[in-house]
Amino acid sequence: MEIVFGDLSLGVKKGGASYIFAYNLGGIESLEKEGNEYLYRVPSLAFWRATTDNDRGNGFSKRSALWMGADAFSDVEGYEVEIDGTEVPSASLIAPGNNELISSPLRKADSVSIVFHFRTCTAPSASVSVRYSLEEDKDGVKVDYSYKGVPGLPELPVCGLRFILPFKTESFEWDGLSGETYPDRLYGAVRGHYRTEGLPLCPYAMVQEYGMHMHTSELGIKCMNKELCIKAESDDGFSFSLLPASPMALENAYHNIDLPPQRYSYLTIAAAVRGVGGIDSWGSDVGKDAHIDSSGSYSVSFRII
Amino acid sequence: MISIQNYLSDPSVFRVNTRKAHSDHIHYRTIGEAESASSFYMPLDGEWDFIYSDTPDEREKDFHKDSFVSDRVQKIHVPGHVELQGHGQIQYINTMYPWEGKEMLRPPMVPSANPVSQYIRYFDLPDSMKGERIIIRFEGVETAYFLYLNGEFIGYAEDSFTPSEFDITDAVRDKNNRLCVEVYKRSKASWLEDQDFFRFSGIFRPVYLYSIPAAHVDDFWAKTDLERDGSGKLTLSLMLSYKDPAFKGSLVYTLGSIVSRKIAIDSSVTAYRSEEMTIPSVRSYSHEHPYLYDFSIAVYDDEDNLLEYVPYRIGFRHVAIENGAVTLNYKRLMICGVNRHEWSAENGRAITMSDMKRDIEIIKGANCNSVRTCHYPDRVEWYSLCDEAGLYLMSETNMESHGSWHKNSRVEPSWNVPGDDPIWKDLVIDRCVSNFETFKNHASVIFWSLGNESYAGENIRAMNDYFKSVDDTRLVHYEGVSFNPGYKKYISDVESRMYTPPEKVREYLRKDGSKPFLLCEYMHSMGNSLGGFKDYDDIFDEFDGYVGGYIWDYIDQALYKIDEATGMRFLAYGGDFGEKRSDYEFSCNGIVDAERHEKPQMQEVRAVYGNRLR
């Protein structure tokens, strides 16, 4: 594969696709295949879900409100690049160091990885790393998301990575569980291959979190001639939701008709998902084993093709 | 045989067979014509044949041959950017070069992703042009182009925002002319055209043919000055060309009813220079009273038949630095300015006369007295509009190389253009020559600017030297030297910086003050902004050496787009076209939005500038 050492970015060209990782923005800014761009913006850290009726009833959203800010803003602290298994110091990657790279053998490589390190905009701060790895003989780009918690923060609504795809999905299909699944609502799910036309609107009277699919091994998203595939790289798969609106937009909507017209697809890949609860009545908390303890560590690995 | 690649990538090749830059005067067949349009001119704007290719390899290599036929030919409107007519990627990017993350290049390398636009235009000469000397004029083509006529190579030009002319007398036919223009989006000039804007290509300003009569004023400079006692100075220099070596005739130049001189000319007289004329008690030119005198040159044959008539409006004013302050007409000048990109939500930088006239109204209505033509020469009509309106111009040369020395938010000039390498020198000087020669007669122009954010070195020093050598009636401006301060004694008459906090401005004026202090960009008007504007205004009262500044900037750079979800038209900014990389909403920093509606901060501009200039 070909590596492009930019002044603020690392470009990779491999198998008819090209990728741009923006040092200053903390992630993959461009994923282009056959002339189509698949990313609207650099992916962001996902920490918020739109308040469910039960979240409101038991006060979860109030207790965990600071994660809404952390979802909206994140702070990239640094990045590291490895090419063919050897770390390339960031001083060599940015100017003037990259001047030496114009005639470097590193411009042709068999493998490259770039990991971005983040601090959550909370006090105290938890840390997150997102590693993107590309290998000559493997399709697409592998993403390893890892959250490392600290004591002293409230429970997490969700923990993962959110991509905005610059199109309205026509259909998506996945290998995983039927219906909508949360950690405390898995019992009825049946493993299989499922398909949804378009992006589903919120099935609940008042708009709130919806559409989570846990333990997914593969997800395919289609729009016109565009096709994106997400494959699990860990044994128990990944959790995803693919929605027509951001959690903030869902939070601010009372009804589906309050949502913005569908332009983009919001793909959240989660390392941890909170349950939805409702055990004895409105207003009681989600069962303990369906909480996300923010002092824990959570990771998810997947491949985007 | 022309080597396309060499022309595009060799910094020593930037104009081939082009005519020398000259003043922007228009010549008329009769005095009466000057009220409407010159019959010497024939616009070529309209629908042209067009072939678009993503790369040079895909272009039609024989398109300039008369025998060429192809089913790839489409139609395109000239003037206009090709990207806004459905061809190629629309991209907004600020300081990074547009190939960031896609190709690793160093100057003067040219990206391999280099879209090519091939234009074909058929035309016949009107009877009035047959047998005459014929010139073709391109007002603006981005970024480099090869010109062919009737199968013959005519020439090559760069410098996207500067008119280029070619003498096609020998190649033109009376009928069935086939004009072919091959435009490359990228060239080595792209290294010097890294302005913070949408990156376009194509023939985006008007194209004309014009004929020149038996004797023609190719160029003139009515150089003026204003004395302290209120008298005016006028020195006329001009260049003439002739069709017939046996030509004899006369030339009459006038200034209102004050000066009228007749000189005999013949084909040996290709240059003329008057002595310095003194005109007692002229009316001076200023933004409050932009008084202009009618100046004219008329050329006659030996039977006193009028061959051409050249009217021009000139003004008398004196720009200087006195006692550490910039002065105009011996009084302190306070710049209440704004940076202006040419912009239209519909057509990008392919703007119209009515766009320009509206801009004058809005900018005057905001109580501005100055405009910086960021960061390239504007359409030539703009300068006359500013003359009439009383808007002082900083006439900026087409150059910005921001991404070459400012990387990762740090000053990092390990490589930079134009830098010190002599190979770039003639090219950047040529851009200064075009700026000066085209606009030298405009009363509104008080600063020549060397360009924007291009660091500093021997080549920019040479640009400064050039302006100093040709014009002692205006000041030279350049900001980028503040990043290489060793050159400050050679570059820029003013200490120019951008976005300096008020306290830092005061600190300079208190501690150094060796040059008057100017903010070529300040008050970044992105989104909801322009708070604290009054803080700068107070400095005028504290330091005579404070010259003022130019707000960043006049108009949001956003483009109409149809929202697929609703069918509604909206104003799209960077990143909305799927382009990568992009700097997204940084394209919108105006005091008016892209449709020229005032943004709420205009109230503050109008009040602060209005009170200052009252």
Q: How confident is the model at residue B614 (pLDDT cuts 50, 70, 90)?
A: confident
Question: Coil, strand or helix: which one is B321?
Answer: strand
What are the pLDDT digits (tens) for B58-106?
999 999 999 999 999 999 999 999 999 999 999 999 999 999 999 999 9
CATH number of this structure's domain A2-304: 2.70.98.10
Please name the residues in contact with B211: beta carbons below 8 A apart, sequence gap of 6 or more: B40, B128, B129, B132, B133, B134, B135
The answer to whether the Cα torsion of B472, B475, B478, B479 is positive or negative is positive
d(CA B411, CA B404): 10
What are the pLDDT digits (tens) for B303-356?
999 999 999 999 999 999 999 999 999 999 999 999 999 999 999 999 999 999
Mean confidence (pLDDT) of chain B? 97
The DSSP code for A24 is T
Compute the half-sphere exposure of residue B480: CA atoms within 13 Å on the CB side of its CA.
30
- Closest to A266 (Cα-Cα) out of A212, A225, A226, A217: A212
CA angle, B98 then B104 then B106, to 5°: 85
Domains of chain B: 1-226+229-317 (2.60.120.260), 329-555+590-613 (3.20.20.80), 560-587 (no CATH)
Instruction: Give the phi and the psi of residue B610 in degrees, each rounded to 5.
Output: -60, -45
Side by side, the strands of the sheet bearing A9-14 are A2-5, A9-14, A17-22, A27-33, A36-37
Our CA dihedral for B389, B393, B395, B400, rounded to 10 degrees, sits at -120
Per cent of chain A over pLDDT 70 is 100
pLDDT of A283 higher than 90: no
Q: Which residues on A lie below 8 Å from B109 (Cβ)? A: none
- Residue B450, exposed/middle/buried by CB under 10 A (0-12, 13-18, 19+)? buried
pLDDT at B2: 72
Q: How confident is the model at residue A282 (pLDDT cuts 50, 70, 90)?
A: confident
The answer to whether the Cα torsion of B390, B394, B399, B400 is positive or negative is negative
What are the pLDDT digits (tens) for A246-264?
999 999 999 999 999 999 9
Q: CB count, 10 Å around CB of B610? A: 14
Instruction: Give the phi and the psi of residue B436 in degrees, each rounded to 5.
Output: -65, -55
What are the pLDDT digits (tens) for B109-158?
999 999 999 999 999 999 999 999 999 999 999 999 999 999 999 999 99
At B309, which helix (H) or strand (E)? Answer: strand B306-314
Q: Smallest Cβ distance to B564: which of A22, A37, A263?
A: A263
What are the pLDDT digits (tens) for B550-602?
999 999 999 999 999 999 999 999 999 999 999 999 999 999 999 999 999 99
Q: How confident is the model at residue B4 (pLDDT cuts 50, 70, 90)?
A: confident
Across the interface, whether the CB atoms of A4 and B103 are under 8 A apart is answered: yes
Q: How confident is the model at residue B1 (pLDDT cuts 50, 70, 90)?
A: low
- Clarify whether B193 is annotated catalytic: no
Across the interface, whether the CB atoms of A8 and B104 are under 8 A apart is answered: no
For chain A, how far is it from start to end, CA to CA, in angstroms?
16
CA angle, A8 then A12 then A17, to 5°: 130
What are the pLDDT digits (tens) for A136-175?
999 999 999 999 999 999 999 999 999 999 999 999 999 9
- Closest to A218 (Cα-Cα) out of A228, A227, A231: A231
pLDDT at B208: 97
pLDDT at B104: 97
Chain A nearest CA to B434, separation (Å): 32
What are the pLDDT digits (tens) for B260-304?
999 999 999 999 999 999 999 999 999 999 999 999 999 999 999
Across the interface, whether the CB atoms of B564 and A18 are under 8 A apart is answered: no
Across the interface, whether the CB atoms of A22 and B581 are under 8 A apart is answered: yes
Q: CB count, 10 Å around CB of B489? A: 11
pLDDT of B527 higher than 70: yes
Please name the residues in contact with B1: beta carbons below 8 A apart, sequence gap of 6 or more: none
Across the interface, whether the CB atoms of B104 and A95 are under 8 A apart is answered: no
pLDDT at B3: 83
Q: Which residues on B lie below 8 Å from A249 (Cβ)? A: none
Q: Which of the following is catalytic: B308, B495, B521, B579?
A: B521
Place of tokens 């360009």: B451
pLDDT of B244 higher than 70: yes
pLDDT of A281 higher than 80: no
pLDDT at A280: 75
d(CA B482, CA B504): 14
Q: Which of the following is catalytic: B132, B453, B479, B495?
A: B453
What are the pLDDT digits (tens) for B392-446?
999 999 999 999 999 988 999 999 999 999 999 999 999 999 999 999 999 999 9
Measured between CB atoms, does A30 come within 8 Å of chain B?
yes
Measured between CB atoms, does A20 come within 8 Å of chain B?
yes
Per cent of chain B over pLDDT 70 is 100
d(CA B12, CA B189): 11
What is the value of pTM for the model shown? 0.96
d(CA A3, CA A14): 9
Q: Which residues on B lie below 8 Å from A41 (Cβ)? A: 575, 584
- Clarify whether B227 is annotated catalytic: no
pLDDT of A228 higher than 80: yes
pLDDT at A184: 96
Q: What is the mean pLDDT of residues B198-203?
A: 98
pLDDT at B227: 98
Please name the residues in contact with B96: beta carbons below 8 A apart, sequence gap of 6 or more: A6, A7, A8, B403, B581, B583
d(CA A171, CA B28): 65
Residue-by-residue DSSP string for B258-290: TEEEEEEEETT--EEEPPPEEESSPPPB-SSSB
Please name the residues in contact with A122: beta carbons below 8 A apart, sequence gap of 6 or more: A66, A67, A69, A70, A153
Residue-by-residue DSSP string for A66-86: HHHHHHH-EEEEEEEEEETTE
